[in-house]
């Protein structure tokens, strides 16, 4: 039987590429913040033990969240980089929730459109070296030279685009993040830290709608997808 999982949502970033007046996770997405919609994906799922949201130390927005007093939603102070915030989240779960050997999920604060079916796939997937949601590349992939010119065309059949959630044993992920931090290795997701440690995580099929809101145009796409889902449910 699968033990209920904790979810870490790193939400301490400021989202510079969005060029907004507030951190992108607090932008409104059809009447709710992106972060509130993201938390809602997990909070009532029977296989989720709780949600730990990593906030910036100067965060002035979470107090208005609809989840601020929810008994299964907890917050902690994150760090400068995403990896710092996830590491602090793991330390929080270890100290405050006694989470050690069981798997944890890490999910982007700005991925508010994860479906329940995709979530179920990664929760139920059993792999000894962890797993991530990902999508096979559809477009032709070009490798760039330092001067901005094309160096090569890569075989897209071997290319997958990483998504979240990513699932790993809590203690192993904590150690991997500490290792890359100590050695000064730059990573962009948790899987990168595990790969650096020597792990070979499984790829679990994600969904094209599980987009990350990074640029202004992404918000328009997310609004269209949320609106479509609302309209589909109401019919």
Residue 166 contacts by C-beta under 8 Å, 6 or more apart in sequence? 105, 106, 107, 130, 131, 132, 133, 189, 190, 191, 201
What pLDDT does residue 87 have? 98
Please tell me the predicted confidence (pLDDT) of residue 61: 96
Enumerate the β-bridge partners of residue 150: 144
96 alpha carbon, distance to own chain's centre:
21
- Per-residue pLDDT, averaged over 96-118, amounts to 94
- pLDDT bracket for residue 107 (50, 70, 90): very high
pLDDT in tens, 38-95: 999 999 999 999 999 999 999 999 999 999 999 999 999 999 999 999 999 999 999 9
Give the residue, 82 or 232, on which the prediction is more confident: 82
Q: Is a pLDDT exceeding 70 seen at residue 1?
A: no
pLDDT at 176 over 80: yes
Does pLDDT of 132 surpass 60?
Answer: yes
Q: Determine the pLDDT at residue 234.
A: 55
pTM: 0.95
Question: Which whole number is the average pLDDT over 191-219?
Answer: 97
| Range(s) of the domain holding residue 70 | 5-234
**28-29/5-11 β-pairing:** unpaired
Mean of the per-residue pLDDT values of the chain: 94
- pLDDT of residue 154 exceeding 90: yes
* Phi and psi angles of residue 70, each rounded to the nearest 5 degrees, phi first: -70, 135
Quote the number of domains for the chain: 1
Residue 231 is predicted with a pLDDT of 66
Tell me: the pLDDT tens digits for 8-39? 999 998 767 777 789 999 999 999 999 999 99
The CATH number of the domain holding residue 170 is 3.90.550.10
């Amino acid at each position: 039987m699968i033990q209920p999982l904790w979810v870490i949502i790193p939400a301490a970033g400021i989202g510079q590429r969005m060029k907004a007046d507030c951190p992108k996770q607090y932008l409104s997405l059809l009447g709710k913040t992106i972060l509130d919609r993201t938390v809602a994906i997990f909070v009532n799922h029977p296989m989720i033990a709780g949600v730990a949201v990593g906030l910036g130390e100067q965060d002035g927005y979470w107090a208005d969240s609809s989840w601020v007093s929810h008994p299964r939603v907890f917050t902690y102070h994150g760090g400068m980089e995403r990896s710092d915030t996830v590491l602090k989240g793991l330390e929080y779960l270890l100290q405050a929730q006694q989470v050690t050997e069981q798997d944890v999920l890490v999910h982007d604060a700005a991925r508010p459109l994860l479906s329940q079916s995709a979530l179920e796939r990664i929760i139920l997937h059993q792999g000894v070296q962890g797993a991530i949601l990902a999508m096979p590349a559809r477009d032709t992939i070009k490798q760039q030279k330092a001067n901005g010119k094309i160096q090569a065309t890569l075989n897209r059949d071997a290319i997958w685009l990483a998504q979240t959630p990513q699932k790993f044993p809590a203690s192993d992920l904590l150690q991997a993040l500490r290792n890359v931090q100590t050695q000064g290795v730059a990573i962009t997701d948790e899987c990168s830290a595990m790969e650096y440690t020597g792990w070979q995580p499984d790829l679990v099929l994600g969904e094209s709608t599980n987009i990350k809101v990074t640029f202004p145009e992404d918000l328009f796409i997310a609004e269209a997808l949320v609106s479509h889902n609302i309209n589909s449910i109401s019919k």
